[in-house]
Structure 1
């Protein structure tokens, strides 16, 4: 079933197999986006942990435990997470390498096979699964329920 809006309608002559394949590629890229978000959360959490660790070192020192404070400060505060890298460097390498390459393939395939249209597979699935004419099942945000079939 075709989508009702031009932004999500398959290009003329595009096969079901192509729509499904491009949809699967987009699904894979969405998983990469989710993983990227987790990687950014990792980056932020480790940064917060390092700053909190610095506060703990200050408190240990203030409490008279300078030996522990000095040892932790020297060995752990500001330590690389991976060889030669803080998390921002991991993020930059991921973004500039794997992520950028994946995003470019997703864009190129969509541009060449779907005329740049996104989520055509999902739009067609929506048309098949929604209850036409029922409130809350509109085809688009601007489609009134009464004129929705």
Structure 2
């Protein structure tokens, strides 16, 4: 197996004529999208956790009945179990709306910006930051565009 060069490949090099400001703006947009992707993961976690909690209510209802508390069992079974977490919305509907709306538009605009400005290239800011750090004898690391590094 051949050894890979220790630097950015052509897909991660800035096209001629692209300014530092453009690379920084694309980096900031990419960083924002990464935050949205993390939020999306938390949204899916919420969906799964609420579903699991709702299934556990079946056991709680039965245990309250067995313990002689039918009024609590009935209230949990009729008012809480299977309830929408937001009026008119089950968690899967929230996830679907997020994916089809906000998330889809965010990804579309990120792709449009990269396609129009740098031929679709990704992570130019990060690649250049790593090269700058390497040239100063420091290992590369993940950093925030426009941040203190």
**Same structural fold, with TM-score higher than 0.5 when normalized by the shorter chain:** yes
The answer to whether 1:39 aligns with 2:43 is: yes
Structure 1 residues 130 and 55, CA gap change in structure 2 (3 angstroms)? farther
Provide the aligned C-alpha RMSD in A. 1.8
Residue 70 of structure 1, CA deviation: 1.1
Alignment of 1:43-122 (within 5 A): 43-122=47-126
Among 107, 123, 145, the alignment partner of 2:127 is: 123
Residue 83 of structure 1, CA deviation: 1.2
Which residue number in structure 1 is paired with residue 145 of structure 2?
A: none
Q: Residues of 1 paired with 2:55 and 2:125: CA distance?
A: 45
Q: Residues of 2 paired with 1:110 and 1:52: CA distance?
A: 46
Which residue number in structure 2 is paired with residue 13 of structure 1?
A: 17
Normalised to the residue count of structure 1, the TM-score between the two structures is 0.83
Residue 112 of structure 1, CA deviation: 1.1
- For structure 1, which runs of at least 5 residues remain unmatched after alignment? 139-149
Q: Which runs of 4+ in 1 moved over 3 A?
A: 131-134
Which residue number in structure 2 is paired with residue 146 of structure 1?
A: none
Q: Residues of 2 paired with 1:43 and 1:113: CA distance?
A: 37
Residue 39 of structure 1, CA deviation: 1.0
> Number of residue pairs matched?
134
